[in-house]
Amino acid sequence: MIVPTGRILQNKHSNNTKNSPTTSIFSTNHDSHLSSKMTHSPYANDNNYKETQSPSISYPMSLPRCKHNNILQHYIQLSKYYHCHEPNAGILTSLKYPNHSIRTSLPFHDIDMLPLIDLLLQHCNNNLSHIHQLDFRVKYRKQGFTSHGAIGIRELLIKSKYITELLINGNPIGGYGACKIFEGCWNNSNIRVIGMRGCLIHERGGVGSWRRSTSKWCR
């Protein structure tokens, strides 16, 4: 029988490692370093966070480490930290295939708003400056967020230099939430379009809108 010649690579943990001049193709220390680097999170010391980690949504090491993948990983980590049921598919799609709009998939509640707002507060004026439209429109109110989500949007509008359209039609933010949205718009001269039909803003929201608009133009 003819045996083909060639170098045989052996694992470090085999019995013949000490007598063999060959080296292993598996670098245990290097792999563990990369693995810890990939899964490192600013919330790693949080016991609650550790218990909720799911390996099924960890990024494979074979994916290219471009800036969009880094942002994706950041959003996934934030979703874990806030104990969201799962990262929003619409947001993941908008981040992976960049376009001018972020369109959320439904349902999208107040808890789902937290990781998105944290992500945008950090990246809205640099890596995500191409995002000009936020589309949170819902058909049924029970699928949307309330005034708590509106408070987060207010903080984002105050900081963002590039968001020009905000569509929140159908979300039951009420009069209080509407006032918060108007506060954010009052501090952002780039906003051109606001969609708030069916948001239950009632008289309180209408008065808040009028006060903000008149004070902005009369100051």
The HSE-up count of residue 122 (CA atoms within 13 Å, CB side) is: 10
Residues 31-37: what's their mean pLDDT? 46
pLDDT of residue 208 exceeding 60, the answer is no
pLDDT at 14: 44
Give the residues across from 135 on adjacent strands.
Answer: 103, 167
Closest CA to 141 of 175, 173, 177: 173
pLDDT of residue 151 exceeding 70, the answer is yes
Cα distances (angstroms) measured from residue 73 to each of 24, 57, 187, 198: 31, 9, 31, 34
DSSP assignment letter at 60: P
pTM beyond 0.75: the answer is: no
Structure tokens at 165: 């359209």
pLDDT, mean over the chain = 75
pLDDT of residue 119 exceeding 70, the answer is yes
* Banded model confidence at residue 213, pLDDT cuts 50, 70, 90: low
Helical spans, DSSP H, in the chain: 28-39, 47-51, 67-81, 89-96, 110-123, 147-159, 174-186, 202-218
Q: What is the pLDDT of residues 48-86, one digit of tens each?
A: 444 444 334 443 333 333 455 589 999 999 999 999 989
Task: Give the three-state DSSP class for 110.
Answer: helix
Architecture of domain 88-219: Alpha-Beta Horseshoe (3.80)
Q: What is the pLDDT of residues 82-98, one digit of tens each?
A: 999 899 999 999 999 98
Per cent of the chain over pLDDT 70 is 61
Give the angle 102-106-107 at the CA atoms, nearest 5°.
125
* Banded model confidence at residue 218, pLDDT cuts 50, 70, 90: very low
Residues 32-48: what's their mean pLDDT? 47
Give the residues across from 133 on adjacent strands.
Answer: 101, 165
Most confident of 6-15, 59-68, 147-156: 147-156
